[in-house]
């Protein structure tokens, strides 16, 4: 069953108005006092912050790429590494954060380098599991650029493991998605993995 909250989805302010009183109820349910001074504006701040952290639902790859694709002859590997990444795990809505490394092999087209971190954010600013986030970034680049291959590696720390549950502070989760030449050609894959070390 899908829930469809009744407010004007094209108006960001209406979403904030919808979330605030509901979050105030959650504060009360937690045995806090939403009327005390320090918490008076917290529902508003929470609504704004969660709206931003999930803004990936309200944009798409085509919008962020815009006119950022150019003709080119090169078919050498392009790597953007150490892209800062912040997302929310869908199971606990706690942050996970780390780095993404993205590579592609052009097929007559290249993409503006600043577009790659922006594609990462389209998917990171949603409720995620790291595995799906990794695959979505790879598949989006394959679709928008039709390159000979795409590789994505994400390394991240998960607050839901650090603050609760197993309480392991130093474990990192590493996921990868290989498409095209990176999937079929071990030499290409190895070159990428060596370069992001
Ligand atoms: Zn979690």
pLDDT per position as a tens digit, 111-155 = 999 999 999 999 999 999 999 999 999 999 999 999 999 999 999
- List, by residue number, the catalytic residues: 89-92, 130, 158, 160
Which pLDDT does position 1 carry in this prediction? 61
pLDDT, one tens digit per residue, over 22-75 is 999 999 999 999 999 999 999 999 999 999 999 999 999 999 999 999 999 989
Distance between Cα 47 and ligand 1 center (Å): 20
Judge contact between 51 and 19, C-beta under 8 A. yes
Which pLDDT does position 8 carry in this prediction? 87
Sorted by where each begins, the domain ranges of the chain are 12-53, 66-195
In the beta sheet, which residues pair with residue 109?
71
Which pLDDT does position 196 carry in this prediction? 96
The label of the residue with tokens 């109820």 reads 25
Res 85 pLDDT > 70 = yes
**Rounded Cα distance, 24 and 46, in Å:** 10
Cα angle, residue 58 at apex, residues 56 and 59 outer, rounded to 5°: 70
Q: DSSP character for 76?
A: S
**The whole model's pTM is what?**
0.94
Res 15 pLDDT > 90 = yes
**Rounded Cα distance, 197 and 185, in Å:** 19
Res 20 pLDDT > 90 = yes
- Over residues 143-170, the mean pLDDT reads 91
Distance between Cα 93 and ligand 1 center (Å): 7
Which pLDDT does position 167 carry in this prediction? 74
Res 170 pLDDT > 90 = no
Distance between Cα 130 and ligand 1 center (Å): 10
Q: What does CATH list as the number for 12-53?
A: 1.10.286.10
Distance between Cα 92 and ligand 1 center (Å): 4
Phi-psi region of 66 (alpha: psi -120 to 50; beta: other; left: phi over 0): left
Q: Could you tell me the fold of the domain covering 66-195?
A: GTP Cyclohydrolase I, domain 2 (3.30.1130)
């Amino acid at each position: 069953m899908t829930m469809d909250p009744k407010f004007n989805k094209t108006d960001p302010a209406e979403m904030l108005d919808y979330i605030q009183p509901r979050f105030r109820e959650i504060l009360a349910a937690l045995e806090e006092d939403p009327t005390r001074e320090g918490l008076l504006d917290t529902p508003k701040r929470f609504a704004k912050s969660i709206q931003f952290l999930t803004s990936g639902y309200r944009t798409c790859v085509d919008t962020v790429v815009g006119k950022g694709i150019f003709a080119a002859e090169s078919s050498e590997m392009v790597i953007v590494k150490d892209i800062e990444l912040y997302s929310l795990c869908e199971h606990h809505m706690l942050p996970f954060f780390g780095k993404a490394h993205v590579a592609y092999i052009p097929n007559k087209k290249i993409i503006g380098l600043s577009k790659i971190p922006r594609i990462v954010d389209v998917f990171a600013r949603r409720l995620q599991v790291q595995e799906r986030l990794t695959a979505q970034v790879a598949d989006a680049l394959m679709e928008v650029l039709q390159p000979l291959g795409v590789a994505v590696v994400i390394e991240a720390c998960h607050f839901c493991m650090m603050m609760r549950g197993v309480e392991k502070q130093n474990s990192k989760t590493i996921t990868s998605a290989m498409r095209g030449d990176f999937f079929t050609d071990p030499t290409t894959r190895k070159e990428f993995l060596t370069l992001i070390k």
